[in-house]
Structure 1
Amino acid sequence: MTRAIVETLRTLHGGAKTQDHGGVLVLANAWDALSARLVEEEGAAAIATGSAAVAWARGYRDGEDLPLEELVGAARSIARVAKPAVTVDFERGYAAEPALVASNVARLVDVGVAGINLEDEAKSADLLGEKIAAVRRRFGADIFINARTCVVLHGKVDQTQGVEEVLARARVFAEAGADGLFVPGLVDRAAIQAVARGTSLPLNVMLFPGLPTLTELASLGVRRLSIGPWLAELAYASARRAARALLRDGSYDAIFGGSPLAYPEVNALFPAAPTPTEQS
């Protein structure tokens, strides 16, 4: 991972109309190397992971139940095959102590990660501010830090009445060195616009029912859209339907009628391993 890749990621948050979405960076969150390659092939300008789907794919619940070593391994496998910048949902950084969070982030940077999400605590933004500052001191401009506040998502504040709380937290994050502001749970147009106008940080929202269209989001000032676990949930729902039809009804219809990706197409998404001659 180079600084140029990180700077490209920053540029993608600047509203440049390079993706036919009015300047909104659209992230179809991946959870493994194959899903990352699929969204890359469909034109993703950057690859983002979502903590829930990454954890589920490895047999854990969301919420830092996934061991750090396994998360780093997942990030490594994605960064190895994906050309765009990779940004990882790092939840609370796998530590309470800011210096330890910075050390944990170093493990992601070492495997090629260009950006991270870091999440706040319900009662205060201060600890996340300290974590952001520690990461920024260690890496300078060589990491994109997307500061996530869950005060709306977790119901601490009503989205239409809690704009000031969100903006107060955003100021803490910006002063600490954050590059972006992630506010999952915002779907109200007026609230989205008020937050976008009230912060110097590029605003990231998350896909939920009722979210305005991409064109509307762009006009409201949004610069990044994450879809969270929706792609993974769709993939798993399709797999469950096919398994149910096969195991309960003895039917292959849900498999062949679902237009599965062909083996050669999937295999070709990955580079061939070097031959012994190429390795020497």
Structure 2
Amino acid sequence: MGFVHHSRTAPRLENQGYLKEFPDYYELTIVNSVRESGWEEDNPFQKVSVPSDSKQRRNLQRAKNKIFEISYCNEWDWFFTGTLDQTKQSRDDLNRFRKRFSDWIRQMNHRGGDIQYLIIPELHADMTNWHCHGLLRGIPDNQIQTINGKTSWKRYADFFGFNDLQVIRNHEAVSKYLTKYITKSIDGDRGVTELNKNSYFHSQKLRMAELKKSGTCREVSSEVPIPSDTILFESDFARKYRFKKTDYSLNQLYNLFE
């Protein structure tokens, strides 16, 4: 059984780096200060009050990072927009739709399919009923129909309602679009804004970026200078960098860590 130290002020670790591998680049996030694992404050039962808007901001940033990671690390065929037909599915019951949709895909895959998905729900302008956007892969050809130049997923239409499919032609662009989209959606209170509720859902067997190394990062190395064009994000709390695999090796980036 592990044991927890107690101190009025938990020790902090400075310049903690997290190096992840994406399909064609490495991403390095450096956090200025994090609490050392295994430490808690003097009173472990005292709850710390966190303003809901502050927690929501952090949840949004985590959601954006994860949505980009999932979308970029996997191959997709279609950008999807799906609505709900009230005669087939309650339009205002997101939890039921999430479960029905996931179970429905699971049943088709159990019968030999390989449909993968990343879905982001959004409220209609009436702020009551839901529709969704997302990415899809593996829809069988016999389930896709094109009528008057509009392509849709026929089987989804049979079970849930009207939908639209658009071929993905730029993988990175659609990944960036989704992260901007969820920001706009939540800022307008039209996404999933409840605390502790995921603002997206996805297949279980999708690829994720691989964490290659973590630890104290010195950020300055003769082996790996960090030019300004590698900076993705910078704030008072953290910095994020992207290194193209064509320009940097993994061993070079390891030299950024102590």
TM-score after normalising by structure 2 = 0.24
More strand by share: 2
Structure with higher RCO (Cα < 8 A, 6+ apart): 2
More helix by share: 1
